[in-house]
Amino acid sequence: MQQTEETLQTVLQDTFALYTQVLDQHEAKLRSQEIGIVQSIGQGIAKIAGLPNVQSEEIVCFTGGSLGLVFNLDPEEVGVVLLDSSEQLQSGTQVRRTGKVLDVPVGDTLLGRVIDPLGRPLDGKGVVRTSQRRPAERNAPSIMDRAPAVNVPLQTGIKAIDALIPIGRGQRELILGDRQTGKSGLALDTIINQKGKNILCIYCAIGQRSAAVAKVIADLNEHQAFAYTTVVMAAAEKPPGLQYIAPYAATAMAEYFTDQGRDVLIVYDDLTNHARTYREISLLMRRPPGREAYPGDIFYIHSRLLERSTHLNAKRGGGSLTALPIVETEAQNIAAYIPTNLISITDGQIYLSPVLFQKGVLPAIDIGKSVSRVGGKTQLPAYRTVSGDLRLSYSQFEELEAFSRFGTRLEESTRLTLERGRRVREILKQKQYAPMPAAVQIAVMLSVTAALLDSVPITEIAIAELAIAQAISTELADLCLQIESGAVLKDADRDALLKVATTAIATVVKDTTDPKDAKDTTDPKDAKDTTDPKNAKNTTDPKNAKDTTDPKDAKDTTDPKDTKE
């Protein structure tokens, strides 16, 4: 027992001696830390004094944990954009530097999650755990890092786009139109069509209502598209600073996958709200306003964002980032400030017309005002056999339709062009959340350009299209795989498609003009009734004639009492 106590005493003495030695050798080093004081609080902004060495776009932390982004660097004070609620902040609150620029978490764990631009979860599924972070602001890839051409298609599943306004991987295609014309629905259809194509998607909601974003998430879940999608959400009720950084944060998350050689699709919904938010922040910071009160660098904030979308070359992994920015127009004015800025930045635009929307032509894509500057290089080779004729015939139809409304007597060729055009318009209609495979699209459009649908009534075009789709998918499954893999459509393949389509259309036409129905319409019994002598006798019955000229009735109409009155 005594030996144990001696051993314990020895251990304690050695330990305390070591502590004393360490303390004697330790020299306290002073570390400077800048702490500022809040001078004033505005709507989403704060003015701070006492941070002389703070840098632009640095993150600062307020007492209580709220974050802010350095926006203005003035001689006497610093303008900070708040990234959290300002309810607990007041004049005199302390602020300290973090020494870090704005960065966001990146990684595969973000897929299937709903997060805010700072990476904080909004879906109630717990903390997002990632091993890497990336700065939200980053230089766009250099010219030498980009692929020489954009030539790999990104299928949207929408006939009007894939055939007439093709989009390639690495392209920036603007979607614009008035309110409630289906802009977000078009982007959502594109995301849903990427199922099974090894393309990851990021949906960035900027200034949208929470209920609208919740519906988008529900639709993605319903169509099994949420597993490969990340939703970055900065709702309308959030601070303006959070809405401002949302697209940059979403792009940084997408670039992580692109640098790994993967293909990514990102949707910005929408950049009109982003521009308005930036204008609001700039005016509150007393930056000089320009056209429509927007600051002078409004073009630059969008160009540096969209320039990050590209197709990398093989040395950089060959990944691609395709951008679909959405912009809202007012009263169909595509020449407004923000729309024209983005039209000049992007590689084409898809314009949705409210006039077509009201007529029930959905999706309401105005083919004449929509363009893809990359062109047919991004299309599957099989599309080229039908897209040229289709666009030409549809353009002729739109011109002739305007003149035909005057009631002019039309030639037979003109009448046939109008009938063909009406069928093309019916073919281009498509329900939402119903993407169509490329091979079926080509078969349907080949049918209309080859005049196979001229005998089908307009009201039965949708039925004929469904019949063609089912027949092609079942009878020519191998050819469908060849078309979607990029094979050229040979004459024999074209004939096979037309043969199957003709058979499918014949069943529809047979159903609409069934001999039994035709027999019923000309039933001898019905014809006999219409010329029945009894009926004829009744129509010229003297009794009936007598009733129509009844003296009593005549007497009533010229009643002396009425005349006297």
d(CA 26, CA 23): 5
The rounded average pLDDT for each run of 10 residues, N- to C-terminus, in the chain (565 residues) is 75 86 80 89 93 92 94 93 91 93 95 96 93 94 93 94 94 96 96 95 96 96 96 95 96 97 96 96 94 94 96 95 97 94 96 94 92 86 83 81 75 85 92 93 91 90 94 93 90 93 88 52 44 44 44 43 40
d(CA 1, CA 342): 86
Q: Which residues pair with 45 in a beta bridge?
A: 81
Question: Among 207, 206, 201, which Cα is nearest to 219's?
Answer: 201
The whole-number pLDDT of residue 289 equals: 94
Could you tell me which residues come within 8 angstroms of residue 174 by beta carbon, excluding any fewer than 6 positions away? 324, 325, 326, 327, 342, 343, 346, 348, 349, 350
Q: What is the pLDDT of residues 208-254, one digit of tens each?
A: 999 999 999 999 999 999 999 999 999 999 999 999 999 999 999 99
Active site residue 373: yes
Q: What is the pLDDT of residues 330-385, one digit of tens each?
A: 999 999 999 999 999 999 999 999 999 999 999 999 998 999 988 778 889 999 88
Question: Among 331, 322, 377, 305, which Cα is nearest to 139's?
Answer: 305
Phi, psi of 367 (to 5 degrees): -65, -35
Q: How far is CA 413 from CA 157, 266, 370, 397, in A?
A: 33, 46, 28, 12
CB 468 within 8 A of CB 412: no
The whole-number pLDDT of residue 1 equals: 60
3-state secondary structure 331-388: CCCCCCHHHHHHHHHCCEEEEECHHHHHHCCCCCECCCCCEECCHHHHCCHHHHHHHH
The whole-number pLDDT of residue 2 equals: 65
Query: Which one of 96, 373, 415, 423 is the catalytic residue?
Result: 373
Place of tokens 């766009």: 140
d(CA 61, CA 102): 12
Q: Which residues pair with 327 in a beta bridge?
A: 176
Question: Among 96, 61, 123, 69, which Cα is nearest to 248's?
Answer: 69
Instruction: Please measure the distance between the N-terminal and C-terminal CA atoms of the chain and give it in whole angstroms.
Output: 142
d(CA 173, CA 119): 27
The whole-number pLDDT of residue 408 equals: 66
pTM of structure: 0.84
The whole-number pLDDT of residue 8 equals: 81
CB 34 within 8 A of CB 96: yes
CA 552 to chain CA centroid, nearest Å: 76
Return the number of other C-beta atoms located less than 10 Å from residue 291's C-beta.
Answer: 9
The whole-number pLDDT of residue 529 equals: 46
